[in-house]
Structure 1
Amino acid sequence: MSYFLDHLVVCASDLTQGRLWAEGLLDVPFEPRGAHDEMGTHNHLVALDKASYFEVIARDPEAAKPDHARWFDLDNFGGGPKLSNWVVRCDDLDEAWERAPAIVGDIKSFRRGDYAWRMIIPKDGKPLFDGCFPTLIEWHSDHPTQHMPQRDLRLRRLKLTHPKAADLRAALAPFVEAMDHVTIGDGRTASLQAEIGSASGEIWIA
């Protein structure tokens, strides 16, 4: 079983606001808008490298509200854009589910155009450890980065801070292969910070 950091997630109250914020920081254009009918959300993506990407996502005001919790705790999100989650890719989601904490959530299947994937979604939509524990995904189609232009962006480091850092480390132990650029530290509150290398220098996003 192999695990890889698949993408970083920035939640936003408004998708256009989130895209403009991220484009201003990274100084690159994002891909056109995509929508997730099952979740009532929409997003923009940009490639981080040849195997991972950066996502800005928000509730879609024109979509019907689903009868279940939206992913990434978007039902409860407010305020300015924020790096709030990360996603780890695997080739056997059932095995990953067995290795994850018992309350991680349920496996759900999704499709959008030519893309198909499965993800583990918490019943209440809230990722474990306030988003510091990753959402787990298994692709059943081409990966999105195979169809995105490269923007000379690279993930240098993802810093996770949490009041229960020791518990977080234990929960992440089975997924150590995805931790090459990830550090975990103690803190009074949960936070995610990403250092992105770009043509114009190093950029921190939180």
Structure 2
Amino acid sequence: MLELDHLAVAGESLEAAVAHIEDALGVRMLAGGQHAHFGTHNQLLGLDEGLYLEAIAIDPEAPELPYARWFDLDRFEGAPRLGNWICRSDDLVADVAAFGADVGAPVALQRGDLRWRMAVPESGILPNDDCFPALMQWDVSPTPASLLTPSGCRLMRLEVAHPEAVALRERVGLGDARVVYVEGAAALRATFETAHGARVLE
């Protein structure tokens, strides 16, 4: 069974991704760290109801890699944007087998004391123009969502737009009323309840 775990905002730089989130939500993000395997780094924001938000970008100090980075970051350009949503599994191997090879193969990852596995396609590009959720399984407890200082922000709605929205919804099969699928150009749009009122992050 899949559950929504977190959302990821990508930028050409981490500073740009962080500024995009902070400007949209009116809050300050917390420190993150480096992901050595994929040559990226991040900062985090704790959300209500066991979720969190991640700003992520290629680490300019990381060496070149002989394989594609996750979250389609090798092709990223332009303004920062909400690029991916991530769902956690309690049996990643079984879920990957059920969804099919295009969702990726499990890769063991770590950052500090955190340990997890994520299904990453060989190309780094997720199905449905990156609108299919990245699948992961935590191998430690507690996870970032419970460790981060609460920001007072709560996800109200995650809008997943795609030309084949109905088929995407049926394939993902996520029973979360906050996630809504709409027909349109591939994009993600999230609405949050904050201390400043409802705010939108795209």
Give TM class, smaller chain.
Answer: over 0.9
2:178 corresponds to 1:181: yes
Partner residue of 1:192?
Answer: 188
Alignment RMSD (CA, Å): 1.2
Q: Secondary structure at the match of 1:194?
A: strand
2:131: which partner in 1? 132
Compared CA separation, residues 50 and 143, structure 1 to 2 (3 A) = farther
Contact 1:86 1:131 in 2 (8 A): no
Report the Cα offset of residue 61 of structure 1.
Answer: 0.6
Same amino acid, percent of matched pairs: 38
- Note closer, same or farther for the CA distance 1:48–1:21 as it changes in structure 2 (3 Å cut): same
Q: Distance in 1 between matches of 2:101 and 2:71?
A: 18
Deviations 1:95-121 (A, max 9, x none): 211221331111110011110000000
1:34 and 1:107 map into 2 onto residues whose CA distance is: 21
Helix, strand or coil: the match of 1:129? coil
**Which residue in the other structure is 1:32 paired with?**
31
What amino acid sits opposite 1:180 in the alignment? A
Gap runs ≥5 in structure 2: none
Q: What's 1:143 paired with? A: 143
**1:43-82 mapped onto 2 (5 Å cutoff):** 43-82=42-81
The count of aligned residue pairs is 201
Tell me which residue corresponds to 2:19: 20
Which residue in 2 is equivalent to 1:99?
Answer: 98
Which TM-score applies when normalising by structure 1? 0.94
Counterparts of 2:147 and 2:34, CA distance in 1: 17
Structure 1 stretches of at least 4 aligned residues deviating more than 3 Å after TM superposition: none
* Code of the aligned partner of 2:183: D
Q: Quick check: 2:102–2:126 contact (8 Å CA) kept in 1?
A: no
Aligned residue in 2 for 1:159? 159
C-alpha deviations, 1:5-52, integer Å up to 9, x for none? 100111100111211221121111111141111101011110112411
Gaps of 5+ in 1: none
Partner secondary structure for residue 131 of structure 1? coil
The answer on whether the counterparts of 1:13 and 1:59 sit within 8 Å (CA) in structure 2 is: yes
User: Is the contact between residue 101 and residue 171 of structure 1 (CA under 8 Å) also seen in structure 2?
Assistant: no
Greater mean deviation of Cα atoms: 101-110 or 67-76: 101-110
* Contact residue 169 and residue 184 of structure 1 kept, 8 A: yes
Distance 1:42 1:116 in 2: 15
CA drift at 1:167: 2.3
C-alpha spacing 1:12/1:93, structure 2 compared with 1 (3 Å): same
TM-superposed CA distance for 1:146, in Å, is 2.0
**Shift of residue 54, structure 1, vs aligned partner:** 0.4
Q: Is the 8 A contact 2:157 2:192 kept in 1?
A: yes
